[in-house]
Amino acid sequence: MADWPGDATQEHTTFGHLTRGQLMARVHSKGNKTTEARLIGLLRSSKITGWRRHQRIFGRPDFVWPKKKLAVFVDGCFWHGHGCGKNLSPQTNSKAWEIKLRRNQKRDRLVTKTLRVMGWRVVRIWECELRTGPKSNRRIKNALGG
């Protein structure tokens, strides 16, 4: 990330003799498996069927109903800049984090707009909304037309 302060190839960490860049290269994303698993449980408990995951369409939605052309994204509150209590402001490198989160929001808007132009309906569910399962399921059911 070019806007990030410091030099990751030179900065050493407290993890042995690894530089910051070497350490971060070893960190692999696990995706948003916990939020997706929570939504899967909610969908199954409400008997909402027909969804698929890992479909190769623009924006890589978390859940897709191909026949209904519905794409559902489960957005993490921190990573996508939601205004709830989970969206904490980082104290270290705050400017760089602000840039990163704004870029994520811009990409989210582009993905939503592009999918809609392609004829898809798009539902975005915030991570914090998963606690109120019926609301999330209602939004999906409405988008499915029933």
Tell whether 112 and 51 lie within a shared domain. yes
Tell whether 114 and 47 lie within a shared domain. yes
Q: How far apart are the C-alpha atoms of 41 and 23, rounded to whole Å?
A: 34
Sign of torsion over alpha carbons 91, 82, 49, 67: negative
Print the domain residue range for 25.
1-29
> Among the listed ranges 10-19, 73-82, 125-134, which one has the minimum average pLDDT value?
10-19
Contact indicator for 77, 84 with CB cutoff of 8 Å = yes
Look at residue 12 in the predicted model and tell me its pLDDT.
60
The model's pLDDT over 83-121, given as tens digits with 9 standing for 90+, comes to: 887 656 777 777 888 888 899 999 999 999 999 999 999
Tell whether 50 and 111 lie within a shared domain. yes
